[in-house]
Amino acid sequence: MHTRQTFVPVTEPFDLSLSRQFLEGFSPMMGEVALRDGAIEKTWLHRGQPVTATIRDGLACTLSSPAPIDDETERAIGERVAFFLSTGDDVEAFHAIAERDEAFAPVARRLRGLHHPKFPTPFEAACWAAINQRIALAQARKMKAAIVERFGKAGAFPEAKTLAEATEAELGRTIGNQRKARAVFAASQAFARVAEKWLQTAPIAEAEAWLRSIWGFGDFSVAFVLYRGLGRSLPPPLGLPWSEKFALAAKKTYGRATRADLEKRAAAYGPWIGYWSLYLWGSGFVNTR
């Protein structure tokens, strides 16, 4: 096994322990991220090479791989880690707004240092969005695991290029659902042809339109990939992660939690709607010890 040390730059405040707690409660990735000895361990594929990053406080990372890790691979995985944990986000403006929100301010203070843990890659988020609709969570996770087993390496989700070179029929046999396989295949074809940096930096309306052009991607899938895969949020109501857990957290924080009321509160956060949603959603299971 080849190893290499690297460091990921961080914009403070940043608390890795809060990221760990969030990932412990994030069901789509349970079993795919190792959380032990205060570290986060995750494997990515880069040009077909599996590289595991063991991430510790101070964002010191030990990279390990069966093959030698060259400078370009170290840089690429370092960027993956940074984007996965949103280490470069400057959240001071968000906290300034939160301090003016009397009901929410205690939540923001308690979770200060939590940056947005995203899916390991936007493509993986897109595949999960394609799979995880109108089926039980356990079934969706089983489908995702089947894709990893068939097309991934070392437990890492495959790259878009790999699935794009498969066939829709093969994907259908792998996950046992032809319609969802069609959506996953369409996503792989699209993501294999796009520069990920463009998705991160293009005007959000353009990124939204591009995602909507993928077969099977509607409001839910588009908003999900923008938020959980790219850290970008649409305005309410699409930009809010509506779920029972989110509604319960909102009711606990604000007392009144109708959709209209939450949309109005969210709008006050402007470009920080995503962080407001993240903190509200995570308030029930992060830093509660």
Which of 196, 229, 262 terminates a domain? The answer is 229
Angle at 255 between CA 253 and CA 257, to 5 degrees: 90
The answer to whether position 32 is within a domain reads: yes
For the chain, what is the domain count?
2
Which of 229, 247, 267 terminates a domain? The answer is 229
Residues in the chain: 289
What one-letter code names the amino acid at 83? F
The answer to whether position 15 is within a domain reads: yes
CATH number of the domain that residue 224 is part of:
1.10.340.30
**Is the pLDDT assigned to residue 43 strictly greater than 90?**
yes
Q: What is the DSSP string of 160-203?
A: HHHHHTS-HHHHHHHHT-HHHHHHHHHHHHHHTTS-HHHHHHS-
Query: What element of type H or E holds 43?
Result: strand 39-46
C-alpha to C-alpha distance for 208 and 216, rounded to whole angstroms: 14
Domain that holds residue 51: 2-88
- pLDDT class of 134 with cuts at 50, 70, 90: confident
Residues 74, 154: one domain?
Answer: no
Percent of the chain with pLDDT over 90: 82
Residue 86, phi-psi category: left (phi > 0), alpha (psi -120 to 50), beta (remainder): left
Residues 84, 128: one domain?
Answer: no
Asked if residue 267 lies in contact with residue 164, where contact means CB atoms within 8 angstroms, the answer is: no
The answer to whether position 205 is within a domain reads: yes
Residues 149, 56: one domain?
Answer: no
Give the range among 49-53, 60-64, 119-123, 283-287 with minimum mean pLDDT.
Answer: 283-287
The answer to whether position 110 is within a domain reads: no
Residues 127, 69: one domain?
Answer: no
Residues 126, 222: one domain?
Answer: yes
Residues 83, 155: one domain?
Answer: no
C-alpha to C-alpha distance for 175 and 166, rounded to whole angstroms: 13
Question: So what's the pLDDT on residue 289?
Answer: 58
